[in-house]
Amino acid sequence: MDIFRELTRGIKFDKNNKIKCSDKSSKKPSELKYILSGKKRKNENTEEKGEKRPKDDYVTDEEVEKIKKQIAQLKESITGEETAEEVKDYEDRYKALINKKTEVVALMRKKFKIKVEGDRVPPPLDSFEKIQNLLKLDVSIMRRIQDQIKFKRPTPIQMQAIPIIAKKRDLIALAETGSGKSLSFILPLLCKVNPDVEGVQAIVLAPTRELLIQLYKQFMVFNPHPKKLKVKFLRRKLIPKDQTEVDHFVNNCKILLSTPLRLESVLKELDLKFETVRHIVVDEADAMFDMAFLPQVDKIIKHCTNPSLQKSYFSATMQPVIEEMLRENMSDPVKIICGLKNATAGSVEQKLVYCGSEEGKMYALRNIFREGFTPPMLIFVQNKQRSMELYKELIVEGISCNIIHGDRIKEQRDEVVMKFRTGKISLLICTDLMSRGIDFLNVNYVVNYDFPQSIVSYIHRVGRTGRAGNQGTALTLYTDSDIEYLRSIANLMKKSGCDVKPWMLELKNPGRKKWKELEKNPKKHMKRETISTDIKKNTNKKFMKVIKDFSKKCKKYNSKFADKPIKSKAPAKEEEEELSDDVLEELDEISDEEEREQLRKEMQGGMNEIPDYVDDSEDDNSI
């Protein structure tokens, strides 16, 4: 009877036990009153100015569930024909509500270009308040998001991925580059991991050290209890040496970030217990399963023996064969696609520039400088050797730039990334090492100096610009020998709304096989020295003037804004690991509010206020 009272509080019954209530009645049970009337509660979050939200989208799953239960219980408790009619009336309205809710969810997904595959997919949440309610987000996280970093609303991938992860579902999430995938797993992990429980509870795998450092910083920016909820980035210095250290490490780390290679090598040597791991997130998942990482990722996942292990895979690109492989070890997964699948971001204006032969590329690059562009710029080349050649070429021409590739020592890589982030380097020559996941918010220009080796590489390279709602430009230089691959790139460009010359779309389709061959056997390029002499002979006076202006602006910037240049003394080989670990050691203890503030600034795009041309110093040019 008590349950009956509770459920029927506010309802009056007439002498026949019939519920006396009408639509307008304030005496309906409180849940029913709001939901069935379609009115908003006073404390309901108000929608953003100027944005219309679909009507009724504030009806949460929990509310619908509650009504369902109430109706069932009412049915059990009340008898009599007329009452049954009343209950039926509620049921009809409930059905209508569910239909409406389904419709609203569908509309919302359409509006934000979210596609889902899977059963019982939770609805997207289009505000951080709703995410806060669902995840029980710590107020400090909300303050950071809204007041400090000033994210207005979740991005589509966050809207949809967060509730899925919160509902403990396995997930394959595909969303275009720069669309905020990282926060989609960072927020739920920070909320779901219990700082008071011992042991590693979540593992995040990513393919490069640069990407892991970036993720690590993001975790630290949002971490509500940095001292208790320890996030560790596994690097050589942190690797435990004996079992006592292993136990200490495992007990002190709640979220572990690592490359698959490093973690697997540790697992081979030491007995790291991962039964406590409940979440595993693989960022840039297709790269991890496509490259040599597959056996390592597999071993790590097998080592996490908790039966309720939840797996989430994120990427901007995914080949069907990899997806199939992932699905084999997932239980009842949900797949999300935000925007177009395997496509470049619509925020990037993409152009193709014909250069004839290798020599032409340098002319084309000069043209870009002459016509003017807004740095920072990333220039992608095929490999380390190519990057060195171009670097020398530009330095000889008096153009300040720097260089990053896998063979540079970690300390140098860290320094270059840091300087590029803070605007001390404006032109960075890089290999595909930097094409995945790296978030330089303000990159305005990407130049594919060497044609990409794969369509996936094109998508990720181009995705270094036009991020988080910003616009960007990507220019791909092509020579006669690249024409056979042109159609695929032209198609991608067309798909994301860029202008493409019709003849490019009529070229023969290279097909997957040809691309695969190219990936396996990269093109051999002419040696740069040969080109250099040739180009120098033709040096154009106008271009030299542009270069001079460029350097002047750089100098002006340096004297006005830049801090003292950091001398990049190349460390001795044996110091290499130590030095880079020192850099990271500082990061590890980021619990200090001031340092976190610094990280937040970086995340907000610290380069916003930097004038047109920024420069590194002469010291920075030393490799």
Interface positions with ligand ATP (CB under 6 A): 151, 154-155, 158, 175, 177-183, 316, 437, 439, 441, 463, 467-468, 603
- Helix %, strand %, coil % of the chain (to 5): 50, 10, 40
Residue 55 C-beta: closest distance to ligand ATP, Å = 24
Residue 133 C-beta: closest distance to ligand ATP, Å = 17
Q: How many Å apart are CA 508 and CA 499, to the nearest integer?
A: 19
Q: How many Å apart are CA 522 and CA 124, to the nearest integer?
A: 42
Q: Which candidate, 450, 440, 438, places its Cα nearest to that of 379?
A: 450
Residue 394 C-beta: closest distance to ligand ATP, Å = 26
User: Nearer to ligand ATP by C-beta: 191 or 486?
Assistant: 191
Task: State the DSSP H helix or E strand holding residue 139, giving kind and residue range, or none if neither.
Answer: helix 139-143
What number of helices (H) and strands (E) belong to the chain?
Answer: 25, 16
User: Nearer to ligand ATP by C-beta: 424 or 467?
Assistant: 467
Q: How many Å apart are CA 374 and CA 183, to the nearest integer?
A: 28
DSSP state of 527: P
User: Nearer to ligand ATP by C-beta: 175 or 399?
Assistant: 175
User: Nearer to ligand ATP by C-beta: 129 or 247?
Assistant: 129
HEC string of 34-78 equals HHHHCCCCCCCCCCCCCCCCCCCCCCCHHHHHHHHHHHHHHHHHC
Strand 472-479, strand 445-448: pairing? parallel
User: Nearer to ligand ATP by C-beta: 226 or 437?
Assistant: 437
Residue 440 C-beta: closest distance to ligand ATP, Å = 9
Q: Which candidate, 247, 258, 152, places its Cα nearest to that of 209?
A: 258
Helix 30-37 vs helix 81-111: angle between axes, to the nearest 10 degrees?
60
User: Nearer to ligand ATP by C-beta: 25 or 470?
Assistant: 470
Residue 468 C-beta: closest distance to ligand ATP, Å = 3
Residue 506 C-beta: closest distance to ligand ATP, Å = 31
User: Nearer to ligand ATP by C-beta: 178 or 226?
Assistant: 178
Residue 223 C-beta: closest distance to ligand ATP, Å = 15
User: Nearer to ligand ATP by C-beta: 421 or 525?
Assistant: 421
State how far Cα 477 lies from the chain centre: 27
Contact partners, residue 211, CB within 8 Å, separation at least 6? 283, 284, 436, 437, 438
Count of Cβ atoms closer than 10 Å to residue 599 Cβ: 18
Residue 292 C-beta: closest distance to ligand ATP, Å = 20
